Chain A
Amino acid sequence: MADKVEFELVSPEKLLKSQPVDMVVVPGSEGDFGVLAGHSPMISTVRPGVIDVYEGDRVVDRVFVAGGFAEVTEARCTVLAEEAVALTDLDRATVEKQIKDLSEDVDDSKSDAERAAAESKLAVARAKLDALSQSSAH
C-alpha cells in the first residue's frame, strides 16, 4: 500500500490532526465507512463514535468524536468534529458520572428544547462509554 490518504481532523478551535495515513474508519451516520486512497468523493454526517486510524494493518490512533461532518475526496479525508478526544484520554469513571448527571438533567428538564439538548448530550456521553467498553474488550 504505497498510496496514503491525507487525514485531517479539525475542531472549531484548532486543526487537531493532519497526517498521511493508510486508512481511516469514520463512524458515518448511516454506518461506519473506511477510507482508503482513491475513495470516491463523498460528504457525510458523522455520528458520535470513534475514528480509527490505521497504519498498515494496525490501529495506531483512536479518536472519539462527538458528531460532525466528513468530506472525502480521492486524496483526502477531512473530518469536521464538534468535539474530539483521544480515546486514551477518556476516563471511564468521569464518563459514567457524566451519564448519571445528564440523565438527571433529562428528567429535570422543563421545556422540550431543554430536554432535547440534554438528550443529545446524553447520547454523546453514552457513545463515549460504548467506545470505552469496546476498546477495553479488544
Chain B
Amino acid sequence: MPNLKDLKNRISSVQSTRKITSAMKMVAASKLRRAQEQAEASGPYAERMGRMLSSLAANVQDSGNGPKLMTGTGADQVHLLVVISSDRGLCGAFNGSIVREAKRQITRLQGEGKTVKLLTVGRKARDQLKREYASLIVESYEDVGRRRLGFSDADMVATKVLSMFDAGEFDVCSVIFNKFKSAISQVVTVQQLIPFAVATEAAEAAGADAKAMYEFEPDEEQILAELLPRNLSIQIYRALLESAASEQGARMTAMDNATRNAGDMINKLTITYNRTRQAYITKELIEIISGAEAL
C-alpha cells in the first residue's frame, strides 16, 4: 500500500510544477503577442524592398551581368546552411524539428557530393548539431535578440554571411527556420538566400512596367549592388522574427499541454491519496473491532 506521506509530497510537487508551467505559458503568450507585432511591423519594409528589387532585377537580368549575389558564382559545390533555433528549451518540438530538417539537408547535400558549412543561430541548434557535425560549424551566435530582436542582430549575421561570400567560401546559402503559421503550428522552412531568387512572375510583371516607368539614379546595377546585401539582411531579419514568434507559440502550446497534464496527474494522485486514506481508516477500524470482539 502506498505511503500516505509520499503521495502528499508528490501531489504538492506536481502542483508547484503546474504553477511554473502555467506561468511560463502566460509569459510565452505575452511574448508571442509582442513578437507577432514586431513581425508584422517589418512587413511594409520587406514588401517595398521586394517591389523595388523585382523591378530592378527585371532590368538587369536582360543585360545578363547582374551582381553575383543574384546570379550566383556559377557553381553550387559549397553550401552554407544558416540554422535558426532558440536559446532556450521547453518549447516542444520547436528545436527538434529544425535540427531534424538541418540534418536531412546535410545528408542530402553530402550524398550529392557537396560540401556543407553550417552557421547556427541559437544555442540549441549548435548544441545538437555539434555532436555529429562539429567540424562543419563555421560560426554560431547565441543570445541573439535576447532582450528585443533588433535589425542590428540580423545585420550582424548578414555581414558575416556576406564577408564569407565575398571571400568565396561558399556558393549557395540557405536559411532553415520555423515559419510562424499560428500559435499552435509552425512550419519548418528552407529558403534560399544566395543566389537570390527573385519571384520571376512578379519580376516580369513589374519589369514590363518598370522599364517604361522608372528612372534610376545612379544606374540599375549600382543600386542593385547596394540593394542586394540590404535585402539579405532583411530576409535574415524576417527569418529571425518568424522564428522568434514561432518559438513563443511553440512554448505556449507546450506549456499549455504540460499544465493540463499536471492537472490530470494531480487529479489521479488525489484519488489514490483519498482511497489509500480510506483504506487505512477501514483497516484500523477492523483492527479495533476485531480486538474488541476477541475480549
Point out residues on A near B: beta carbons under 8 Å: 8, 10-15, 28-30, 40-45, 69, 71, 73, 78, 80, 82, 113, 117
Contacts and interface: CB of A to CB of B under 8 A. Distances in A.
Q: Ordered nearest first, which 8 A-B pairs have the shortest CB separation?
A: A14-B41, A42-B215, A44-B217, A12-B151, A41-B213, A15-B44, A10-B45, A41-B214
Interface of B: 38, 41-42, 44-46, 48-49, 51-52, 55-56, 150-151, 154, 159, 163, 213-218, 222-223, 226-227, 230, 233-234, 237
Given A73-B213, A80-B52, 20 more contacts: A8-B44, A10-B44, A10-B48, A11-B45, A12-B154, A13-B150, A14-B41, A29-B217, A29-B218, A30-B218, A40-B215, A41-B215, A42-B216, A43-B214, A45-B223, A69-B49, A71-B48, A78-B48, A80-B45, A82-B230
A96 to B, nearest CB: 22
Of the listed residues B151, B214, B227, the one surrounded by the most CB atoms of chain A closer than 10 A to its CB is B214
Given A12-B233, A69-B223, A45 B218 contact: yes
A43 B216 contact: yes
- Secondary structure dominating the interface of B: helix
A4 to B, nearest CB: 19
Contacts, number: 75
28 contacts: A11-B45, A12-B42, A12-B45, A12-B151, A12-B154, A12-B234, A12-B237, A13-B41, A13-B150, A14-B42, A14-B44, A40-B215, A41-B214, A43-B52, A43-B214, A43-B215, A43-B216, A43-B223, A44-B217, A44-B223, A45-B222, A45-B226, A69-B49, A69-B227, A71-B48, A73-B213, A78-B48, A113-B163
